[in-house]
Structure 1
Amino acid sequence: MTETQVLNETGTTLAFSTDYKRIAVEEAWAPQQLLDVYRTELAAGNISDPGFNSLWGYYLGNTERASALSARIVEAGPNRLAAMDAAGVDVQILSLTCPGVQILKTDIARTLAVEANNILKESVDAYPDRFYGLTAIAPQDPEHAAQEIRRGHDNLGFKGVIINSHTQGEYLDDKKFWPIFEAAESLNTPIYLHPNTPSPQMIQPYVESGLDGAVFGFAAETGLHLLRIITSGVFDRFPNLKIVVGHLGEALPYWMWRIDFMHATSVKSRRYEAIKPLKMRPSDYLKRNIWFTTSGMPWAPAVEFVRDVVGTERVMFAWDYPYQWDPQEVAALDALPWSIEEKKEFFQGAAEQVFRL
């Protein structure tokens, strides 16, 4: 193994392998125009979603962390590249930050999604060796979203689709959204299902206890969303659909045995109208149609567990910039007791295969 040393921005010397690229696949970005719209909507009280008001009411505030985040997230140039270089990250796949345009009125959302994609294309073109992009869509209009997926793939050269989980309390298992799945599957382009704060229907116990965000609410909401997609039969209808999910699967790999057991029990009992027989067990779809990233979860025991239960080829690196990123993280993951081949698959190969880089 060849190794290099870098003095990162904190003054710490990091050592990491140079035998493979490190491709970080869940890296947030937003055009300034979108943050301006968020700020206007918050000031006017136009959005009633408690999760959005909690999340962006904070990140558009005046604290040191909020100011740093809002400055970093709109930048896809020298400062972002410097942070990457300081930690040994070679490439970022950029995607529109949560909740994207999904919180906005449909006409505004459509326009902003197109504009955001055009702006992101400029950044990707400026640094083609360092950045790739995912297509932002407005699921509020599924047919327009499908068209934008095709434009992102065919005209902009983007490598997948970003969906920031629920859209104003609606979930993708609703068949009205299935044109989105149809477009993604037909193009063999993956959907990254990124967390959102819990929907208005479920958020109250989370927000009143301060647990609505990344500490727990994100995982509870997105794990629910992904499980709804599985149990609704989406992957029986779209067997070649690829979905990527962060935070090591929002805890679903840990629950696989119990999910299979209780799903089979529910099917047999006919207790729920929504639970129908599937062609496979729920866990089988997690092992066939889902890929898992380490965004926000660079914890060796959890990484090893998920690799063990879903397969090493389905787990890949993400850095969660600029929300939860640590310059030491890459060196720590580089130090895991894996072979060079396993590390190359984790940092580079899986991303190249899934996103067709």
Structure 2
Amino acid sequence: MLPKIALEEAYEHPERVARLLADEEALADASDRGGVTPEFYRPVMEKLREFDDVRLGSMDRAGIAHTILSLTAPGIQSIVDPAAATAEARRQNDFLAEQVARHPDRYSGFAAVALQEPENAAAELRRAVTELGFKGVLVNGYTNVGDPEHGSYLDEPRYRGFWETLAELDVPLYLHPRPSLPGGQALYAGHPEMKGATWGFGTETASHAVRLLLSGHFDRFPTAKLILGHLGEALPALLWRTQNMFQANPFDQRPRRTLPEYVADNIWITTSGTFSDHALINAVLSVGADHIMFSVDYPYSENAGAAEWIERAPISELDRRKIAHGNAAALFGIELG
């Protein structure tokens, strides 16, 4: 098997897992908010808190040489109290650093940050990268500000200092899904199966990315690196139409370049949770194999199926090697033994 690097691979703090598994009502609530059933979520929670034999054994059988771990959604972004969010981000990063230190050849980390306090988020990102050795940051969608009903998005002016720190450190931001704000949930009324990864996660995250693309964000931060999972949250397939209709209706937005140009320079996508030949070929044609990286979305998806798929996907052997490990090794400076 080809060696592989995976980078949308989740964990949850064992203390939170223990609380949820001991409380059926809390587990049902967390499952509902994530758009899954408790029957699905219970075994996933067991795997989220585990870092040794089960996770490493699954990686070994799939040929995954190295994994970048990150706190599962909604993570820090859902904590309404800013001071509590900042404290929890630091606690999670210290905990993750401990897990990485136990298996440094197999694991790296993405930082969690509390964008509720942007200056503190920038400071924590700097600490996580320069002191803990993390490879970048993962942000779970919008950040709740004030209450659970309201959120803020990464193109807003309040986050420009944070993006300046990202650019200075030259590390990527992985934009990960979470359920849409309560005001956007009306579409799913009576259809809880649509709220999570089945449908809602992708549309929420793609819309967040398009905000960045159309707002001129990458003109302000031309070296910024954004990563999207799930083969780009369907954005590669919609890129032409989005650009075409935007040119006809730009309103007051005046980015300097086209969306495909920004995608070529600033966006990478991963295969996490999307093991489809058709979707991969579309992504190679739309984004280019140099900006596609293998990922699984473990434990929400399984390592074995993802590995079997990329090993046989109908692409060139050169592209297969780039996607399996080469692109991630170059982007993150990971050396495989």
Common fold: TM-score over 0.5 = yes
**2:59 pairs with one of 84, 104, 111:** 84
Q: Helix, strand or coil for the counterpart of 1:135?
A: coil
Q: Which residue does the alignment assign to 1:233? A: 216
**1:199–1:221 contact (8 Å) kept in structure 2:** no
Distance 1:118 1:337, change over 3 A: same
Kindly provide the CA deviation profile for residues 41-75 of structure 1, in whole angstroms up to 9, marking residues without a partner as x.
9979xxxxxx967235967x4x3x32211110011
**2:109–2:135 contact (8 Å) kept in structure 1:** yes
Query: Which amino acid is 2:58 matched to?
Result: A
**1:192–1:243 contact (8 Å) kept in structure 2:** yes
Structure 1 position 212 matched with structure 2 position 187: no
Q: CA deviation at 1:328?
A: 2.9
Q: CA deviation at 1:204?
A: 1.9
Q: CA deviation at 1:174?
A: 1.1
Distance 1:143 1:354, change over 3 A: same
Structure 1 CA distance for aligned equivalents of residues 98 and 68 of structure 2: 14
Structure 2 CA distance for aligned equivalents of residues 57 and 220 of structure 1: 14
Q: Helix, strand or coil for the counterpart of 2:121?
A: helix
Q: Which residue does the alignment assign to 1:32? A: 14
**How many equivalent residue pairs?**
326
Q: Which residue does the alignment assign to 1:54? A: 32
Task: Using the TM superposition, name which of 315-324 and 80-89 deviates more.
Answer: 80-89
> TM-score, normalised on structure 1?
0.85
**1:26–1:94 contact (8 Å) kept in structure 2:** yes
Structure 1 CA distance for aligned equivalents of residues 305 and 36 of structure 2: 26
**2:86 pairs with one of 92, 99, 110:** 110
Q: CA deviation at 1:286?
A: 1.4
Q: Helix, strand or coil for the counterpart of 1:291?
A: strand
Q: Helix, strand or coil for the counterpart of 1:81?
A: helix
Q: CA deviation at 1:340?
A: 3.4
Structure 1 CA distance for aligned equivalents of residues 18 and 166 of structure 2: 30
Distance 1:113 1:127, change over 3 A: same
Q: Helix, strand or coil for the counterpart of 1:198?
A: coil
Aligned identity (percent) is 35
Structure 2 CA distance for aligned equivalents of residues 212 and 57 of structure 1: 5
Query: Which amino acid is 1:232 matched to?
Result: S
Query: Which amino acid is 1:320 matched to?
Result: D
Higher helix residue share: 2
Q: Which residue does the alignment assign to 1:5? A: none
Q: CA deviation at 1:89?
A: 1.7
Task: Using the TM superposition, name which of 254-263 and 130-139 deviates more.
Answer: 254-263
Structure 2 CA distance for aligned equivalents of residues 110 and 85 of structure 1: 35
Structure 2 CA distance for aligned equivalents of residues 307 and 124 of structure 1: 32
Kindly provide the CA deviation profile for residues 107-159 of structure 1, in whole angstroms up to 9, marking residues without a partner as x.
22111110110011111111111111000001111111101110011000000
Q: CA deviation at 1:185?
A: 1.0
Structure 1 position 191 matched with structure 2 position 173: yes
**2:110 pairs with one of 129, 134, 151:** 134
Q: Helix, strand or coil for the counterpart of 1:173?
A: coil
Kindly provide the CA deviation profile for residues 81-126 of structure 1, in whole angstroms up to 9, marking residues without a partner as x.
0111222222111011001111112222111110110011111111
TM alignment of 1:59-74, pairs within 5 A? 61=38, 63=39, 65-74=40-49
Q: Helix, strand or coil for the counterpart of 2:32?
A: helix
Structure 1 CA distance for aligned equivalents of residues 257 and 16 of structure 2: 41
Kindly provide the CA deviation profile for residues 271-290 of structure 1, in whole angstroms up to 9, marking residues without a partner as x.
xxxx4111101221111100
Distance 1:32 1:89, change over 3 A: same
Structure 2 CA distance for aligned equivalents of residues 107 and 152 of structure 1: 18
Unpaired runs of 5+ residues, structure 1, are: 1-16, 45-50
**2:85–2:114 contact (8 Å) kept in structure 1:** yes
Kindly provide the CA deviation profile for residues 9-61 of structure 1, in whole angstroms up to 9, marking residues without a partner as x.
xxxxxxxx3xx4200110011112344677899979xxxxxx967235967x4
**1:294–1:317 contact (8 Å) kept in structure 2:** yes
Unpaired runs of 5+ residues, structure 2, are: 145-150
**1:34–1:112 contact (8 Å) kept in structure 2:** no
Q: Which residue does the alignment assign to 2:271? A: 294
Structure 2 CA distance for aligned equivalents of residues 77 and 296 of structure 1: 22
**1:99–1:196 contact (8 Å) kept in structure 2:** yes
**2:8–2:229 contact (8 Å) kept in structure 1:** yes
> TM-score, normalised on structure 2?
0.90
Q: Which has the larger radius of gyration?
A: 1
Query: Which amino acid is 1:180 matched to?
Result: F
Kindly provide the CA deviation profile for residues 174-232 of structure 1, in whole angstroms up to 9, marking residues without a partner as x.
11122221111111000000011112221221253120100000001000000011111
TM alignment of 1:151-300, pairs within 5 A? 151-168=127-144, 169-210=151-192, 211-267=194-250, 270=251, 275-300=252-277
Structure 1 CA distance for aligned equivalents of residues 24 and 142 of structure 2: 19
**1:77–1:123 contact (8 Å) kept in structure 2:** no
Structure 2 CA distance for aligned equivalents of residues 332 and 144 of structure 1: 41
